Structure 1
């Protein structure tokens, strides 16, 4: 019998949590698991999710990222009805809103095993104290009905322990994992030159790039401010921001007011990220909070020197001073100084690039997937609801969840 595993995520945009979720439901061992994917408000990757083979896809549009009390109640009821119909054995939630509402819906639907992955807590020092207390309280209360937690970084585990979220060691570190082969692939220099020309980069220019959603978490305004400092000292520097989002209009206005047109470019979302990475000379990430930024691993796999803010699991992906530099959150001048130093020092740029590509196996997507599957097996065995014995149909019956 195959165990039905239902993944729930708030929005399928181009982000680390979304890529991990899609990879998991696509690659789960079909001899052991039947995957279902539920998402909320429309996202860029919805059509890709619908096209996945052997993955049942459902959308609950009232599940939205922002806190909207009436919509949140609607989403909870809709998710509960859907889960009662689907009867999964395991519900595995991702992202803050889907994590709270999805777990309570699973509990109301009497799902036997409830798992949540922390891809970075949506609780930051920039929020009012009362909101932080409210969100921590919501996570703590929801933790009481959570069978097991996963975290993508040690930093998130430390935060969860500090807030008292975990019980009896029900937390496991499993990295998100990247498709390293696509970033290790060699690109002809002619393709690199063509991409740089497309991005408005001329011979003799040095290109600093980032890939991120234009939302407060990623602090794109800091990216523009760093560009302003660097370009004032180095006219040959160019910056490109690959991504889109709610802050785009404001960031474009910021670029104009800083007189950086032609030096800082927003190209929107692109699917050729591995190729674009090869067109960069330095990768810059200005996030104010993170779980474990997969994009830093992708930059490293592309052989790029990295400059990033020291937030979440960034220090678990970048070895400060070895393959990049880490600066305090919001330290625009510090970030600019590190970027400028790499651009001006060919030896440092070459050394960081040489040290960048050695990615530990724990950060590979297949390694992470096998760990998730092993965790599912362990939780099934502990619950008495099924044990995988290494053969087809190895799960025992004796529980209410859906099997095939």
Structure 2
């Protein structure tokens, strides 16, 4: 049943990314039908803007450039929230959280404000200087927020230790639509054929945009160690700016091994790419709740992951966990998975999917958001 409550989501942007995908997932999983509302993107519509609009949710873009907001974009934010008259304003990511709190000052009445933090806080110094300041502004403003959501327990612990208000914090993990994400070997074979991957190859996959914390360098070096021991291994990497023309990655892969790597860039068919994988690897040295890990598991792909954020809790006993920033351990973890028979990996992938269905199914996560909004409206 549709609620008369209006929820407006404010997010930094709508390009390919974990937070953007998480917002789309909860909207498509039922929030859009029940609460309607709107989505305000501080930047552009990106990839997810049209998809969200197709759900019947209006999408507005403020067109902000990176950096400090302009007076024109602030005025546009004021006009939009005045027209939309939200009951709840939900921020997504640090910049979106600040914009949500600002929007609440402009909106008629007194809308409740919820923040959504999608980031771990392993090392503030690793962030860009402006992001460091935005995180500090979030800390200062957190006392006046009605609810602060985190997608991982570790993220909540880190932020509250840093000084974020602990009064209204709660964890709602990422949710996965297991009716859409399911093993389908035939589609995986089509992806292999399109990428000219031999039928009998063993495929190690990696999906992440290029960013230092994703640690593509460690993944490539570990993969090279594995390839020198296993001639059947092919590596499939998807993600924006992930290629050997990237100055950070150039020169890592020996020329004689380049033909065994597939760099496919940013793609919108990631589930089919994952279906082509025998093993998925998450190599980051910092994460909160890595979406790609849950997606690979839902698709029945066993995982090797670094022990960051909530990765250990997500994987459980269905994969291999290794220390971050440790190339030797990562290579050993991959070899441990590859030493299993294909049948054993398929069975492990089935257990991984079951773990996602039980602990991170999308309906349960959507229900948690809905209950939060109802409690906010009731002032409890």
Give per-residue Cα distances to partners, 1:221-269, cap 9 Å, x unaligned: 3322222222222222111112214887416952675324212221123
Of 1, 6, 9, the residue aligned with 1:7 is 9
1:336 aligns with 2:331: yes
The match for 2:114 is 115
Q: Is the 8 A contact 1:104 1:142 kept in 2?
A: no
Q: State how far apart, in whole Å, the 2-side matches of 1:81 and 1:21 are.
A: 23
Tell whether the 8 Å contact from 1:26 to 1:52 is kept in structure 2 after alignment: no
Between 1 and 2, higher relative CO (CA 8 Å, sep ≥ 6) is seen in 1
Aligned equivalent of 1:311? 308
CA distance in 1, matches of 2:164, 2:196: 48
CA distance in 1, matches of 2:270, 2:131: 35
Provide closer, same or farther for how the CA distance between residues 301 and 374 of structure 1 changes in structure 2, counting only shifts above 3 A: same
**Please, which moves more after superposition, 91-100 or 20-29?**
20-29
- Give 3-state SS (helix, strand or coil) of 2:259's partner: coil
Whether the 8 Å CA contact 2:205–2:281 is kept in 1: the answer is yes
In structure 1, the partner of 2:150 is 151
Q: 1:311 to 1:63 in 2, by over 3 A?
A: farther
| Preserved contact between residue 45 and residue 61 of structure 2 (Cα < 8 Å) | no
Q: Deviation string for 1:179-198 (max 9, x for gaps)?
A: 1122225343xx43332122
* Residue aligning to 2:189: 193
Aligned counterparts of 2:84 and 2:155: Cα–Cα separation in 1: 31
Larger deviation, residues 153-162 vs 347-356: 347-356
Q: Matches of 2:159 and 2:145 in 1, distance apart?
A: 13
The answer for the alignment partner of 2:103 in structure 1 is 105
TM-score, with structure 2 as normaliser: 0.87
Number of matched pairs? 374
In the alignment, which residue of structure 2 is the partner of 1:300? Answer: 297
Q: Distance in 2 between matches of 1:53 and 1:220?
A: 35
CA distance in 2, matches of 1:264, 1:252: 17
Asked if structure 2 preserves the Cα contact closer than 8 Å seen for 1:39 and 1:60, the reply is yes
Residues 342 and 348 in structure 1, CA contact (< 8 A), matched pair in contact too: no
Partners of 1:199 and 1:240 within 8 A in 2:
no
Structure 1 residue 289 corresponds to structure 2 residue 291: no
Work out whether 1:139 is the aligned partner of 2:127: no
SS, match of residue 126 in structure 2: coil
Does the 8 A contact of 2:152 with 2:288 survive in 1? yes
- After superposition, the Cα gap between the structure-2 partners of 1:120 and 1:80, relative to the gap in structure 1 and judged at 3 Å, is same
Which residue of the other structure, out of 175, 178, 201, is the alignment partner of 2:176? 178
Q: Which residue of 1 aligns with 2:126?
A: 127
Q: 1:129 to 1:268 in 2, by over 3 A?
A: closer
CA separation in 1, counterparts of 2:245 and 2:287? Answer: 23
Cα distance between partner residues in 2 of 1:43 and 1:226 = 37
1:254 aligns with 2:250: yes
Q: Please report how far the alpha carbon of residue 74 of structure 1 lies from its aligned counterpart in structure 2 after TM superposition.
A: 5.8
Unaligned runs of 5+ in 1: 384-404
Paired with 2:243 and 2:234, the residues of 1 have a C-alpha distance of 21
Deviation at 1:288, TM superposition (A): 2.3
User: Within the alignment, does 1:345 sit opposite 2:340 as a pair?
Assistant: yes
The answer on 1:20 being equivalent to 2:22 is yes
Aligned ranges 1:32-181 → 2 under 5 Å: 33-42=35-44, 44-49=46-51, 51-62=53-64, 64=66, 68-69=67-68, 71=69, 75-109=73-107, 111-121=110-120, 124=123, 127=126, 134=133, 136-168=135-167, 170-181=168-179
Q: Give the 3 Å change call, closer, same or farther, for CA 180–115 of structure 1 in structure 2.
A: same
For 1:35 and 1:49, locate their aligned partners in 2 and report how far apart those are by CA, in whole Å.
15
Distance 2:44 2:93 in 1: 15
Taking only aligned residues, the RMSD between alpha carbons, in angstroms, comes to 2.9
- Contact kept in structure 2, 1:2 and 1:31, CA below 8 Å: no
Deviating more after overlay: 353-362 vs 122-131: 122-131
Partner of residue 237, structure 1: 233
Q: Please say if residues 7 and 36 of structure 1, whose CA atoms lie closer than 8 Å, have aligned partners that are also in contact.
A: yes
The partner residue of 1:203 within 199, 202, 227 is 199
